[in-house]
Structure 1
């Protein structure tokens, strides 16, 4: 029985670390994009995304849980940035 709980804890720990890395990567990527690109795409402003992603990373570090409300909100924010905002920013800032 103990091995089942050890496996569950290992999966939760690995999930937390992978999702924390995603949140940190999204925050760093948002920092590196020019503010004008956010305005050109019609998305939220750069300071707004930095605040949202910064809170997501901070909440993950203070409350380390994948299944808590703050953890889920942070995951959703990072995924929205990575899957919606980032591709739009890349298309605007692509080198020609």
Structure 2
């Protein structure tokens, strides 16, 4: 196996991992009611769902520029690191 085949395999695994993160964030965004987003002081459910849904959709398009893919991946990580804990905190009260 040459170095380019290994590099291609690693790139494919990274893209697949990021796709899994995007799908997970999208599904989690659908599970919470819109009122919880407002109560947590976060962006609306509709806004997050559209943004994360576009991220999942565009993950299947390998032609997109790296910058655009990076924006959607960062959005998914922000949702999982900031919004999801705030929404989960509301359920514990």
Distance 2:52 2:88 in 1: 18
Distance 1:54 1:48 in 2: 10
**1:31-46 matched pairs, under 5 angstroms:** 31-46=30-45
Q: Which runs of 5+ in 2 are unaligned?
A: none
| 2:49 equivalent in structure 1 | 50
Q: Report the TM-score, using the length of structure 1 for normalisation.
A: 0.89
The answer to whether the 8 A contact 1:20-1:57 is kept is: yes
Match of 1:75 among 68, 73, 76: 73
The answer to whether the 8 A contact 1:56-1:75 is kept is: yes
Distance 2:56 2:68 in 1: 10
Distance 1:64 1:30 in 2: 26
**1:1-96 matched pairs, under 5 angstroms:** 3-63=2-62, 68-94=66-92
How many residue pairs get aligned? The number is: 93
Root-mean-square deviation (CA, aligned residues, Å) is: 1.6
